Amino acid sequence: MKIQAPPGMRDFYPADMRLQNWLFDAWRRVSRSFGFSEYDGPIFEFLDLFTIKSGDEIVSQLFDFEDRGGRRFAIRPEMTPTLARMVAARANSLPRPIKWFSIPRMCRAEKPQRGRLREFYQWNADILGVDDVLADAEIIAVAVAFLREVGLTPEDVVVKLSSRPIATAVLASIGIEASQADRAFQLIDRYDKLGPNEFRRQWNEAYGPDVPGERLERYLTEASLEQCLDLVAAAGEQGVAARTQFESLLAHLESFGVMPFCKFDLRIVRGLGYYTGPVFEVFGRRSELRAVLGGGRYDDLTTMLDGPRVPGVGFGMGDAPMMELLKELGKLPELEEELDIFIIDADPQLFATVQELAAALRGHGLATDFSYKRVGVSKQFKQASARGARYALVVGSEYVERRELTVKNLERGEQIIVPADDLLRAPQEALQRV
């Protein structure tokens, strides 16, 4: 019986894992350059952690189970609830600002499709404990720094920006109060996926003919940032504050040098109900993929978990859609296996010496290997090339006679004789001579 990986799950063969680690390394490098610290949490949480945040309807999107004690758990589908739980537990002792990132493995019980899998990794970066939209601008700057790190430009990708308070003011202008806005946000979030006709049908089903969906559509597809900000400012004191907040965000983004990537788009509202301020998503400009990154400000999440109010802003980027976009744009690197040294025995009787040298060089942190079979020198050289080794180290008669080794640079084809004691004392220095 042939058993394959479960639907929506992946096997990572060594070549796949090299690319995966390349992505993880870029995520970590960018995060640390902005002063973020790495954290993690359990692979599954109490189911209530997710239903408190997103309601009971989220259960259909989760892999949930009951343990032997009758407790309900779910494999984590996102990281923000875990982050909020962890911060709420130690909110009074954590130094501010809290700048954390993680690269967790997660699962969602949804239909697998291109760039969207049931099991995936996600880069999460969050800043907590800061009310100022300076934190929002910096979290967007983190995302843009990664895009630049992997060779993407404003011609390749766009960061679409909006604001929940701005969207709330637009909805209020057509008669939808804030207390009735959750369903509207969900529909706006899915506008492009639904298409105009299905959007109108579902809108009428939710709000009836007395609330003009057509007017909202004009705002979603035609209104400029200035028109939306003017509408917000006319909505009273809260509207003026929302306008000031968004204008401040844009000024900070300009200072960080990331505005060439950014564009205002009222359709970006993020369907999850816990967002309270600016929101954003990243798209490929010429790609049909869904957003490769999404995030925004959430100021009340810790209070849902009986903790003190700790304002926050952050994003999540899935590995699968990002890899698909990079592949689509021809930006994925060609990565070979990295082996520093392949040791070759010119005489099978010297194989014990090969093993001793391998142990010593590995002790210096050099990736070192050799042939398991005693074959001719030429075949061992072929193995060294096939393994992508940078250097071949030949143990032959000169070692027996003078404790010397032949070191060959396989990239340049040059070779020299090196005293074995020099190589073992300072291998990196000895290798640089070739």
Q: Tell me the C-alpha distance between 391 and 412, whole Å.
A: 10
The encoded tokens of residue 110 equal 């949804």
Q: Tell me the C-alpha distance between 391 and 336, whole Å.
A: 15
Q: What is the pTM of this model?
A: 0.90
Query: What does the pLDDT look like over 34-48, one tens digit per residue?
Result: 999 999 999 999 999
Q: What's the half-sphere exposure (Cβ side, CA atoms, 13 Å) at 428?
A: 6
The encoded tokens of residue 72 equal 């309900």
The residue ranges of every structural domain in the chain are 14-40+78-328, 339-431
| Backbone dihedral angles phi then psi of residue 34, each to the nearest 5 degrees | -95, 5
Q: In the chain, which stretches have pLDDT less than 70? A: 53-55, 271-273
Q: Which three-class secondary structure state does DSSP give residue 273?
A: coil
CATH 3.30.930.10 describes domain 14-40+78-328? yes
- How far is the CA of 388 from the CAs of 33, 168, 342, 365, in angstroms? 31, 57, 9, 17
Q: Tell me the C-alpha distance between 193 and 82, whole Å.
A: 29
Question: Any long-range contacts for 407-412 (C-beta under 8 Å, 24+ apart)?
Answer: 407/431, 407/433, 407/434, 408/434, 409/434, 410/384, 410/385
Question: Which residues does 6 contact at the CB level (< 8 Å), separation at least 6?
Answer: 118
Third-level CATH fold of 339-431? Rossmann fold (3.40.50)
What confidence score (pLDDT) does residue 105 get? 97
Give kind and range of the element (H or E) at residue 301. Answer: helix 301-304
Query: What does the pLDDT look like over 83-131, one tens digit per residue?
Result: 999 999 999 899 999 999 999 999 999 888 888 899 999 999 999 999 9
